[in-house]
């Protein structure tokens, strides 16, 4: 508070210096005057005391005689005379008993001196020998007058000194404060942005250092201000560039503060909200309310907010992705809106196309299933009856004709199977049937099938199997056989002279696994290097002239490649035009533990007596055949008879249920598609009609349905096994012996 008052009374340093000097002079004068007064007073007091002492002794000497004579009037006269001189203020004579005998103040006479004595500080006493004493007091007026005179002189002298020093102090103060005022003015110019360097000089070292520092600060601030101006201009240019750049962005972009008030946006956002994107306008007034509520919730969580939303169609945008991210230091949020209407439309079109493709695929599968069923049913009769004719007594010409029919039927069946396999692979529902196989035997069986084709062209068909190849391996033997049949069949097809060689070897083994490499080498026409890349594509044949000459659908190698890759292997080809080709594939297979376990079990077998076998003839096993097609029914009956079995026939599902209840066969062969009652319903009625606890004989589905998943579907429906039409005598016999071990070929049957 005192500092504030001082600042109001003495606002400038100049005034404060003047006031300080004047106050100092006054204080010095007061102190000196006080010292002088004290000194003078002490001196006067000493002089007065000495003078009083002399006066007291002198008066005592003068009063000694009158007192001795008891001349009291004379005593009073002398006392009054001494007081009248002006030096004494009072005089009192006291006898030896302490009683006042005379006094300049008559009223004191006769009283005790102890009662009326003045203060001891101003009383001077002198003894009157033999009579008493005299006490006097002096007047202080003269002393006071002298002290007053001295005080007045001191005040006048101080005033003269102050008046004399005032201009000098003023000049000195201005000399001290003027450089400071100049420094202040320089600082004010700097505050206004005027950084011109002015060299200020002062004889005072501290002020000169201050001026030097201000000059250096002005120089540096000038340089910094210039750089700041340059940076500001660059920033403005950059902001303008960025704004132009943001305006060119085809997606709406906006910036809002923490309260959701718009701070800036680009032209796309302005167009989106219909031109009402004014700074300070709440964003929630320009966007859907639900969207803004979700944004506020995300803002409270402090994270990046992204959502897909729909916008009114009037602004040309129907679907959008809204993204908002918090800016640092609580500067609000930046928001971006991506128009995904085209993407949504494309997704819708894609979904419709997908649904259409799925429907087309379903229709194609349905069509293939129907065509396959309709073709495979008569094909079963053609191939089966041809095999039966070949087994009967026919002459050479008839045999040649029947073999031609059989070969054509088998070729047609191969084409159908290729189509079905390709359909399965295209649907991604191809499955492997892994079992323990003798790979060498699989290779030999495949070569046995192809040996007639090799003999017809007089081509040697050699098989080289590595003796180190494990006997039993875990694999899908049927698919490996299919791959070999296709590769070797192609080699035989495109080789007119030379030979075809098949090599099988184990290239790597360890940890219960083995890599098997199969090579098919021929001396045929070869393949150009430019055609190797498209060799395994579906429906592609590298030479149109040969495909016209040798036929084929162009799917075989594509199916082979898919099969090999499905089994985890790789396939390739090395070929030189005119010198032949070598197709190879490698399969990583697991060793089978069955052989090792069998050997260990045999070691533990204890020899026993041979069991007695009852060779008493029994009735032939009965097989119920439910088949609506007369040709297929006749063919199946003939094959059953050749296997030493009896056959009971039913032309539809209802007859099959009745015959089963009457005859109790060991095996039921059930066609799936039949009139009255289909095979599935008949199978269910047969199982439902069994007595409690009775065991149902195996029921096998015979069907021309060989599409993807058909086998699994029929097994899930309740059939015990599945056989696709057309089937060969070998396939049929294998199935029958699986369920009726008593079945065996009968020589001369038929």
What pLDDT does residue 518 have? 95
Task: Count CA atoms closer than 13 A to 215's CA, side-chain side.
Answer: 12
Evaluate whether residue 134 is within a structural domain: yes
Helix 630-642 vs helix 729-739: crossing angle, to nearest 10:
60
* Best CA proximity match to 655, nearest among 638, 635, 633, 640: 633
- 629 and 599 housed in the same domain: no
Say what the pLDDT of residue 547 is.
44
Q: What is the pLDDT of residue 258?
A: 74
Complete edge-to-edge strand list for the sheet that includes strand 88-95: 100-103, 88-95, 132-138, 123-128
Burial class (CB in 10 A: 0-12, 13-18, 19+), 632: buried
Same domain, yes or no: 20 and 68: yes
Classify each residue of 63-96 as buried b or exposed e, where b means 16 or more C-beta atoms within 10 Å of its C-beta: beebbeeeeeebbbebbeebbeeeebbbbbbbee
Report pLDDT for 665.
Answer: 93
- Which has the closest alpha carbon to 520: 499, 506, 551, 549? 499
597 and 477 together in one domain: yes
**pLDDT on residue 12:** 64
One domain, residues 540 and 629 = no
Q: How far apart are CA 582 and CA 536, in angstroms?
A: 14
Is residue 611 pLDDT above 50, yes or no? Answer: no
458 and 558 inside one domain: yes
538 and 685 together in one domain: no
Does 587 reside within a domain? Answer: yes
- Of 87-96, 332-341, 596-605, 644-653, the one with minimum mean pLDDT is 596-605
**102-111, 416-425, 531-540, 595-604: which range is least confident on average?**
595-604
Least confident among 385-389, 475-479, 677-681: 385-389
Same domain, 445 and 592: yes
| Domain presence at residue 209 | no
Is residue 581 very low, low, confident or very high in pLDDT (cuts 50, 70, 90)? Answer: very high
Query: Average pLDDT of 198-226?
Result: 69
Question: What pLDDT band is residue 706 in, cutting at 50, 70 and 90?
Answer: low
Whether 664 has a pLDDT exceeding 80, the answer reads yes
Residue ending a domain, choose from 286, 320, 339: 339
Shared-domain flag, residues 629 and 724: yes
Helix boundaries (H) for 494-629: 529-532, 544-550, 556-566, 594-603
Residues 6+ apart with CB under 8 A from 583: 487, 490, 491, 519, 520, 571, 572, 573
More confident residue, 330 or 281: 281
Instruction: Identify which has the larger pLDDT, 566 or 175.
Output: 566
Q: Which domain holds residue 136?
A: 2-143
- C-alpha–C-alpha distance, residues 446 and 719, integer Å: 30
**Other Cβ atoms within 10 Å of 602 Cβ, number:** 8
The token duo for 639 is 């094959």
Distance between CA atoms of residues 739 and 384, nearest Å: 21
- The upper half-sphere exposure of residue 203, i.e. CA atoms within 13 Å in the direction of its Cβ, equals 3
Which residue has better confidence, 614 or 85? 85
- The pLDDT value given to residue 613: 36
- Domain with residue 643: its CATH number is 3.40.50.2300
**Average confidence (pLDDT) over 139-150:** 68
- Write out pLDDT tens, residues 298-313: 666 666 777 777 766 5
Instruction: Report the pLDDT value the prediction gives residue 327, as an integer from 0 to 100.
Output: 75
Confirm if 181 and 200 have CB atoms less than 8 A apart: no
Find the angle CA(726)-CA(656)-CA(665) to the nearest 5 degrees: 90
Q: Which of 124, 143, 162 is the last residue of a domain?
A: 143
630, 599: one domain:
no
Q: CATH number of the domain that 322 lies in?
A: 3.30.450.20
Q: Global pTM?
A: 0.45
Please tell me the predicted confidence (pLDDT) of residue 411. 72
| Contacting residues for 302 by C-beta, under 8 A, at least 6 apart | 326
Task: Judge contact between 633 and 651, C-beta under 8 A.
Answer: yes
The phi and psi torsions of 68 (rounded to 5 degrees) equal -65, -35
Percent of the chain scoring above 70 in pLDDT: 77
Average pLDDT over residues 267-294: 74
Number of domains in the chain: 4
Distance of CA 589 to the CA centre of its chain: 42
What does the pLDDT read at residue 380?
73
Which domain-ending residue is among 299, 318, 339?
339
CA distance 100 to 113: 6
Q: In what order do the strands lie in the sheet with 305-310?
A: 262-265, 253-256, 333-339, 319-326, 305-310
Confidence of residue 612 (pLDDT cuts 50, 70, 90): very low
CA atoms within 13 A of residue 509's CA, in its CB half-sphere = 10
Higher pLDDT, 299 or 239: 239
Query: Rounded mean pLDDT of 1-21?
Result: 62
Could you tell me if 430 and 708 are in contact, meaning their C-beta atoms sit under 8 angstroms apart?
A: yes
Give the chain's length. Answer: 750
Q: Please compute the mean of the pLDDT values over residues 287-302 and round it to a whole number.
A: 70
Q: Is residue 50 part of a domain?
A: yes
Asked if residue 492 lies in contact with residue 500, where contact means CB atoms within 8 angstroms, the answer is yes
Does residue 500 have a pLDDT over 90? yes
Buried b / exposed e along 171-210 (16+ C-beta atoms within 10 A)? eebeeebebbebbeebeeebeeeebeeeebebeeeebeeb
Residue 500's beta-bridge partner residues? 461, 522
In 192-260, which ranges are continuous DSSP H helix?
205-248
Average pLDDT score, the chain: 77
> Could you tell me if 549 and 630 lie in one domain?
no
Q: Rank 65-79, 248-262, 590-604, 652-666 by mean pLDDT and report only the highest.
A: 652-666
Tokens of 530: 């430019």
Residue 7 lies in a domain: yes
- Residue 464, CB-side half-sphere exposure with 13 Å CA sphere: 12
Residue 517 falls within a domain, yes or no? Answer: yes
One domain for residues 548 and 666: no
Q: Give domain status of residue 729, yes or no.
A: yes
Distance, first Cα to last Cα, the chain: 137
Residue 77 in any domain: the answer is yes
Q: Angle at which helices 556-566 and 396-427 pack, to 10 degrees? A: 50
pLDDT surpasses 80 at 199: no
Are 596 and 661 in the same domain?
no
Whether the Cβ atoms of residue 383 and residue 406 lie closer than 8 Å to each other: yes
Helix residue ranges, H only, 457-571: 477-493, 529-532, 544-550, 556-566
Question: The domain spanning residue 591 has which CATH number?
Answer: 3.30.565.10
């Amino acid at each position: 508070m005192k500092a504030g008052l001082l600042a109001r009374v003495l606002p400038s340093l100049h005034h404060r210096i003047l006031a300080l000097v004047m106050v100092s002079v006054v204080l010095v004068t007061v102190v000196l005057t006080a010292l002088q007064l004290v000194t003078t007073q002490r001196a006067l007091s000493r002089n007065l005391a000495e003078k009083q002492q002399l006066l007291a002794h002198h008066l005592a000497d003068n009063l000694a005689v009158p007192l001795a004579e008891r001349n009291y009037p004379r005593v009073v006269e002398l006392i009054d005379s001494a007081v009248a001189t002006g030096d004494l203020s009072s005089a009192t004579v006291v006898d030896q008993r302490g009683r006042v005998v005379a006094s300049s103040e008559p009223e004191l006479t006769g009283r005790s001196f102890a009662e009326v004595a003045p203060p001891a500080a101003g009383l001077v006493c002198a003894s009157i020998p033999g009579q008493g004493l005299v006490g006097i007091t002096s007047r202080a007026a003269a002393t006071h007058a002298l002290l007053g005179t001295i005080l007045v002189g001191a005040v006048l002298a101080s005033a003269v000194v102050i008046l004399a020093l005032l201009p000098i102090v003023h000049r000195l103060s201005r000399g001290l404060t003027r450089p400071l005022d100049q420094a202040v003015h320089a600082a004010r110019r700097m505050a206004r942005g005027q950084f011109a360097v002015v060299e200020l000089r002062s004889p005072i070292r501290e002020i000169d250092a201050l001026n030097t520092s201000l000059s250096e600060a002005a120089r540096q601030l000038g340089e910094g201000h210039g750089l700041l101006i340059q940076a500001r201009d660059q920033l403005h240019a950059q902001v303008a560039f960025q704004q132009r750049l943001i305006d060119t962005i085809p997606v709406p972009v906006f910036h809002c503060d923490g309260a959701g008030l718009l701070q800036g946006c680009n032209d796309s956002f302005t167009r989106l909200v219909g031109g009402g994107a004014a700074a300070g306008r709440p964003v929630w007034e320009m966007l859907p309310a639900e969207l803004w509520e979700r944004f506020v919730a995300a803002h409270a969580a402090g994270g990046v907010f992204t959502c897909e939303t729909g916008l009114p169609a009037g602004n040309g945008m129907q679907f959008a992705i809204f993204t908002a991210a918090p800016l640092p230091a609580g500067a609000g949020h930046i928001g971006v809106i991506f128009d995904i209407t085209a993407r949504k439309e494309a997704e819708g079109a894609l979904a419709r196309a997908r649904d259409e493709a799925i429907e087309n695929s379903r229709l194609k599968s349905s069509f293939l299933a129907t065509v396959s069923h309709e073709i495979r049913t008569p094909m079963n009769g053609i191939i089966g009856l041809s095999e039966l004719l070949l087994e009967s007594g026919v002459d050479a010409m008839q045999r040649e004709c029947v073999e031609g029919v059989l070969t054509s039927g088998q070729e047609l069946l191969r084409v159908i199977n290729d189509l079905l396999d390709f359909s399965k692979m295209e649907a991604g529902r191809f499955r492997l049937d892994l079992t323990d196989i003798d790979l060498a035997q699989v290779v030999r069986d495949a070569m046995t099938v192809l040996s007639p084709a090799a003999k017809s062209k007089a081509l040697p068909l050699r098989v080289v199997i590595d003796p180190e190849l494990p006997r039993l391996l875990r694999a899908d033997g049927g698919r490996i056989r299919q791959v070999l049949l296709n590769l070797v069949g192609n080699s035989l097809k495109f080789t007119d002279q030379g030979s075809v060689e098949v090599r099988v070897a184990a290239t790597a083994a360890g940890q219960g696994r083995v890599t098997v490499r199969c090579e098919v080498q021929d001396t045929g026409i070869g393949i150009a290097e430019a055609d190797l890349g498209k060799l395994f594509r579906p429906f592609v044949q590298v030479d149109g002239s040969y495909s016209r000459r040798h036929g084929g659908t162009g799917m075989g190698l594509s199916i082979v490649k898919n099969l090999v890759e499905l089994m985890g292997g790789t396939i390739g080809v090395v070929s030189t035009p005119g010198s032949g080709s070598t197709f190879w594939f490698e399969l990583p297979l697991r060793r089978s533990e069955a052989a090792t376990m069998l050997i260990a079990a045999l070691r533990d077998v204890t020899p026993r007596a041979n069991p007695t076998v009852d060779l008493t003839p029994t009735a032939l096993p009965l097989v119920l055949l439910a088949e609506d097609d007369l040709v297929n029914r006749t063919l199946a009956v003939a094959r059953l008879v050749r296997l030493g079995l009896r056959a009971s026939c039913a032309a539809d599902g209802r007859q099959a249920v009745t015959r089963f209840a009457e005859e109790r066969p060991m095996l039921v062969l059930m066609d799936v598609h039949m009139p009255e009652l289909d095979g599935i319903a008949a199978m269910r009625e047969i199982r439902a009609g069994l007595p409690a606890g009775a065991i149902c004989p195996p029921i096998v589905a015979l069907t021309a349905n060989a599409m993807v998943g058909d086998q699994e579907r029929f097994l899930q429906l309740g059939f015990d096994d599945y056989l696709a039409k057309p089937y060969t005598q070998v396939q049929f016999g294998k199935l029958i012996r699986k369920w009726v071990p008593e079945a065996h070929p009968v020589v001369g049957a038929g």
